[in-house]
């Protein structure tokens, strides 16, 4: 894109034999090199702080989160780096616009049919089925794939990042399931991006041929012949650079700068909106414990249990269901013989002892059984609860069933 700055430089050193050509071609402007550096910084930091969150259960992830100073700090670093990357993206849009609209540099990064052909021929060449690598121009198809992957990936990360950063806002216009879905997409795209850098970038930029142009800003003629022969031919023919005179440049700038200013302002507002929209943003993370917690005033009613055939019947206050079994368990050891009082049957219980009835249906306080048990000192003693229920049973007329 910075073809306009291409300036052949002579860097031949004195006394060095001119076996190899020493001419170099300016490929990237300093501003682009800085952009590249920023993207490296943001990308690496985001990956280092993001992947441990994706794999939070793993021991290595826990160790890394500890290294960053805990989960809250890890999230903060991740969020601030995301802001850096978004600002860089805004700058990039403005800078590309400047090159295209002011300097009238062609859209050299746009994919074309040629790229499909180049990719196919490269595949054949790698398989030994073609004699030579395709001749490529300003940007090879490998470079375009990488650039557009970065653009696409950044858009995905910004959209899904927004959804996780502002879940309440998201749930206002999308179903709630989109938030966990955004989380899955965010993590998946992150993994894809890291693997793409390790495999695609590493191979094409560092292994196949160590391309240092992002750091030096230029390529040697030899490298140009290998990597960008079509661009080199254009440069030599003088058609790669479209010179602009000062007056025209001024005129275009006068149109571009105000428009770019408005666009940049809108984008920056978008970033501001993104970061400050909700209380879940950066600042809240460490203060989570102090955040007010809303508890409903009336407890949420529990769902009523539907009667099921296997459910045990609720014990009712009758002789059969309650009093009989209780007396037989707690009193029959002795009564059956002692004082002619027996609890073997309902009739026995109502008949009473040799002194007469001990249960007066409908009047618990008049029942001797209650009087005896109320002393709390009977050799066979009912608990307070059990006695209360027995009283209730008698009060209700001591029903058998
Ligand atoms: C360890 C033996 C023992 C157990 C168990 C026992 N009782 Fe008694 N109960 C006695 C004795 C002995 C008497 C007679 C002397 C007394 O009143 O203390 C008696 C007397 C009574 C009387 C008075 C009868 C009357 O007409 O004077 C009642 C009523 C009574 N028991 C109720 C119960 C009940 C109800 C239970 C079970 C919760 C129970 N007992 C458990 C030993 C026991």
Distance from residue 338's CA to the centre of ligand 1 (Å): 7
Residue with tokens 């709630």: 176
Q: What is the distance in A from the centroid of ligand 1 to the CA of 320?
A: 21
Of 244, 212, 238, the C-alpha closest to 105 is: 244
Ligand 1 contact, 357 CB (< 6 A): no
Cβ proximity of 122 and 203 under 8 Å: no
Nearest residue by C-alpha to atom 11 in ligand 1: 338
Dist. CA 346 → ligand 1 center (Å): 17
Residue to substitute in 322, 326, 333, 338 for testing ligand 1 pocket (most ligand atoms within 8 angstroms of CB): 338
- For ligand 1, the distance from its centroid to the CA atom of residue 127, given in whole angstroms, is 102
Ligand 1 centre to CA of 311 (Å) is 35
Nearest CA to ligand 1 atom 29: 369
Vertex 296: Cα angle to 293 and 298 (nearest 5) = 150
Contact 137, 108 (CB under 8 A): yes
Position 36 scores a pLDDT of 95
Q: Cβ(359) to ligand 1 under 6 A?
A: no
Residue 11: what are its φ and ψ, rounded to 5°?
-120, 20
Does residue 214 contact residue 28 with C-beta atoms inside 8 Å?
A: yes
pLDDT score, position 13: 47
Q: Hey, what are 55's tokens?
A: 């794999």
Terminal Cα distance for the chain, rounded: 96
Expressed in angstroms and rounded, the spacing between residue 335 Cα and the centre of ligand 1 is: 7
Nearest by Cα to 162 from 52, 275, 77: 275
CA distance 367 to 352: 10
Residue closest via CA to ligand 1's atom 27 equals 355
- Residue closest via CA to ligand 1's atom 7 equals 380
The tokens describing 18, both together, are 């001119």
Other beta carbons within 10 Å of 259 = 12
pLDDT, residue 108, reads 87
Q: Which two tokens stand for residue 237?
A: 């023919």
The pLDDT, as a whole number, for residue 1 is 42
Asked whether 335 lines ligand 1 (CB < 6 A), one says yes
Please work out whether the CB of residue 379 comes within 6 Å of at least one atom of ligand 1: yes
Phi-psi region of 362 (alpha: psi -120 to 50; beta: other; left: phi over 0): left
Show Cβ contacts of residue 313 under 8 Å, excluding neighbours closer than 6 positions. Answer: 321
Ligand 1 site, residue 360, Cβ cutoff 6 A: no
Residues 6+ apart with CB under 8 A from 102: 249, 252, 253, 256
- The gap from C-alpha 362 to its chain's centroid, in whole angstroms, comes to 68
How far is it, in rounded angstroms, from Cα 323 to Cα 102?
A: 99
Handedness of CA 138, 141, 144, 146 (dihedral sign): negative
Measured from the CB, is residue 338 less than 6 Å from ligand 1? yes
204-228 in b/e burial notation, b at 16+ Cβ within 10 A?
A: bbeeeeebebeeebbbbbebbebbb
Q: Whose CA is nearest to atom 34 of ligand 1?
A: 331
Q: How far is the CA of 245 from the centre of ligand 1 (A)?
A: 120
Find out whether the beta carbon of 330 lies less than 6 Å from any atom of ligand 1.
yes
**pLDDT tens for each residue of 302-327:** 767 666 555 555 667 899 888 999 99
Distance 379 CA to ligand 1 centre (A): 7
Distance 353 CA to ligand 1 centre (A): 10
Rounded Cα–Cα distance for residues 29 and 11 (Å): 18
Per-residue pLDDT of the chain (401 residues; tens, 9 = 90+): 444 444 444 444 444 444 555 788 888 999 999 999 999 999 999 999 999 999 988 999 999 999 999 888 999 999 999 999 999 999 999 999 999 999 888 888 999 999 999 999 999 999 999 888 899 988 999 999 999 999 999 999 999 999 999 888 888 889 989 999 999 999 999 999 999 999 999 988 888 888 888 899 899 888 888 889 998 888 888 877 777 888 999 999 999 999 999 999 999 999 998 888 876 544 444 555 555 656 556 666 676 766 655 555 566 789 988 899 999 988 888 888 778 889 989 998 999 988 889 999 989 999 999 999 988 888 889 888 999 999 999 998 899 88
Q: Is the CB of 387 under 6 A from ligand 1?
A: no
Question: For the chain, what is the radius of gyration of the CA atoms?
Answer: 42
The residue nearest atom 21 of ligand 1, judged by CA position, is 372
378 lines ligand 1 (CB under 6 A): yes
Interval 94-129: pLDDT, tens: 999 999 999 888 888 999 999 999 999 999 999 999
- In sequence order, what are the residues at sequence separation of 6 or more whose Cβ sits closer than 8 angstroms to the Cβ of residue 119? 141
Are 359 and 283 in contact by the 8 Å Cβ rule? The answer is no
Upper half-sphere CA count for residue 278 (Cβ side, 13 Å): 15
* Tokens read off for 374: 């109320």
The answer to whether 277 and 171 are in contact (CB under 8 A) is no
């Amino acid at each position: 894109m910075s073809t306009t700055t291409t300036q052949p430089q002579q860097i031949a050193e004195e006394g060095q034999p001119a076996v190899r050509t020493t001419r170099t071609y300016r490929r990237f402007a300093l501003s682009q090199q800085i952009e590249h550096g920023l993207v490296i910084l943001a990308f690496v930091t985001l990956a280092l702080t993001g992947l441990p969150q994706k794999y939070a259960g793993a021991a290595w992830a826990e160790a890394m989160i500890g290294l960053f100073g805990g989960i809250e700090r890890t999230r903060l670093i991740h969020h601030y780096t995301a802001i850096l990357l978004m600002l860089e993206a805004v700058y990039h849009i403005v800078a590309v616009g400047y090159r295209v609209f002011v300097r009238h540099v062609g859209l050299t990064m746009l994919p074309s049919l040629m790229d499909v052909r180049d990719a196919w021929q490269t595949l054949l060449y790698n398989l030994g089925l073609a004699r030579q690598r395709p001749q490529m121009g300003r940007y090879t198809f490998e470079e375009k794939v990488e650039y557009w992957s970065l653009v696409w990936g950044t858009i995905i990360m910004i959209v899904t990042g927004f959804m996780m950063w502002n879940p309440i806002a998201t749930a206002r216009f999308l179903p709630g399931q989109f938030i966990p879905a955004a989380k899955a997409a965010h993590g998946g795209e992150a993994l894809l991006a890291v693997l793409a850098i390790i495999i695609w970038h590493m191979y094409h930029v560092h292994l196949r041929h160590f391309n240092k142009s992002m750091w030096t800003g230029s390529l040697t003629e030899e490298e140009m012949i290998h990597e960008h022969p079509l661009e080199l031919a254009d440069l030599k023919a003088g058609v790669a650079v479209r010179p602009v005179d000062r007056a025209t440049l001024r005129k275009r700038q006068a149109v571009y700068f105000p428009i770019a200013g408005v666009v940049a302002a809108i984008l920056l507002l978008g970033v501001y909106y993104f970061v400050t929209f909700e209380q879940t943003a950066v600042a809240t993370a460490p203060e989570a414990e102090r955040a007010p917690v809303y508890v409903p005033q009336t407890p949420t009613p529990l769902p009523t249990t539907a009667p099921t055939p296997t459910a045990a019947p609720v014990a009712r206050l009758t002789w059969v269901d309650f009093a009989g079994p209780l007396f037989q368990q707690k009193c029959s050891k002795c009564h059956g013989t002692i004082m002619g009082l027996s609890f073997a049957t309902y009739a026995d219980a109502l008949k009473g002892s040799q002194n007469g009835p001990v249960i007066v249906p409908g009047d618990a306080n008049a029942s001797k059984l209650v009087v005896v048990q109320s002393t709390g000192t009977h050799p066979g003693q009912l608990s307070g609860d059990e006695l209360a229920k027995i009283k209730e049973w008698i009060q209700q007329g001591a029903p058998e069933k």
